[in-house]
Structure 1
Amino acid sequence: MSLIHRQPGAMLPDLAELWNSMVAPTVPAFATHPLRVEDAIDDKNYTVRAEIPGIDPAKDVQVSVHQGRLTIKAERTAEHEEKGRSEFSYGSFVRTVTLPPGAQEDGVHASYAKGILTVSVPLGEPQDPVRNIQVESAE
């Protein structure tokens, strides 16, 4: 069982605690690790913030933009102890979000402070995706 103390009145254990009580401690609980993000749009920018504490942003984070999609990849590593147990998440984290219309991929800026990665994408006028094609007579 977990060493985390529950609030009085909490009747059901969380899913991770149930899983960990059924499997050996050396088996990872789940193969994927979620990367929690929040986003916001204002008049000039689309901003994505990702919660990634405990990493070195110069070595452990990769931010890329390709074909209207922003991808954040991060990896957190740790030395494992034989007799200890960890409830922290280690491993690879990936999250991809679709950029809004008008996003200018050339002006993307990323910064990291206090465990939060902030990616800012400048917004311009959305390009009109509809293009009229003139139909010629084949006669």
Structure 2
Amino acid sequence: MTDLMKWFDSRRSPMDVIERLFEGDTGSSAIRVEEMVDGNTLVVRAELPGIDPEKDVDVTVANGVLTIKGERQERKEQKDKDSYRSEFRYGSFMRRIPLPSGVEQGDISASYKDGVLEVRAPLPEQGQGTGASKIPISRG
């Protein structure tokens, strides 16, 4: 078993389970993600439809953890002659994803297209980042 496979198998902490329980995995505040390795790059894709990534989302890396957080506000209105209906969907969301050791913060990129945020982190042989670093999001 490679080090990367061991990392995938062992990286879920009890705190991750507790956070996801309180965040409500099926609620509107949950962020659904896909994680995969494409060649020598970790790819994290997050479903974030209906948001403006430049205003509503922050992607940061600190202490070996990728954090995606933001806020969503969506409003749907229906006006009829004798009735009015409004549905609000709003709230903050956050997801923390542990990164394998050796990921260089400066090499991480993020893009947003068709409601999906994609974060790419090259997996070098050596090196470990320190401190926090904000990752800019480009539109694709």
TM-score normalised over the length of structure 2: 0.61
4+ residue runs over 6 A deviation: none
Q: Please name the residue that 1:52 is paired with.
A: 48
> 2: distance between equivalents of 1:59 and 1:127?
32
> 1: distance between equivalents of 2:127 and 2:54?
34
If asked which structure has higher relative contact order (CA below 8 Å, sep 6+), I would say: 2
Residues 36-75 of structure 1: CA deviation (Å, up to 9, x unaligned)? 0111113321110000000011101100000100000121
Matched, 1:84 2:85: yes
Contact 2:104 2:122 (8 Å CA) reproduced = yes
Q: How many residues align?
A: 98
Question: 1:92 is paired with a residue of what secondary structure?
Answer: strand
Considering only CA atoms, is the larger Rg found in Structure 1 or Structure 2? 1
Structure 1 residues not aligned, in runs of 5+? 1-29, 129-139
Per mean C-alpha deviation after superposition, the further-off stretch among 101-110 and 115-124 is: 101-110
> RMSD between aligned alpha carbons?
2.6
Aligned-partner residue type, residue 74 of structure 2: A
Q: Percent identity?
A: 45
Q: Greater helix percent: which structure?
A: 2
Q: Greater strand percent: which structure?
A: 2
Contact 1:74 1:92 (8 Å CA) reproduced = yes
